[in-house]
Amino acid sequence: MEKNEKQLEERLRRLEELEKEIKKKEEAIKSAEKARKQIVLRLSPTLWNELSAWAEEDFRSINGQIEYLLTEAVRQKKKK
Q: Could you report the per-residue pLDDT of 22-78, keeping only the tens digit for each?
A: 999 999 888 887 788 889 999 999 999 999 999 999 999 999 999 999 999 999 999
Query: E strands within 1-80?
Result: none
Full residue range of the structural domain in which residue 7 is found: 1-36
| 79 and 64 together in one domain | yes
| 31 and 4 together in one domain | yes
| Number of domains forming the structure of the chain | 2
| 24 and 59 together in one domain | no
CATH (domain of 73): 1.10.1220
Q: What angle do CA 41, 45, 48 make, to 5 degrees?
A: 60
| 49 and 26 together in one domain | no
User: Residue 40 in 3-state DSSP?
Assistant: coil
| 75 and 41 together in one domain | yes
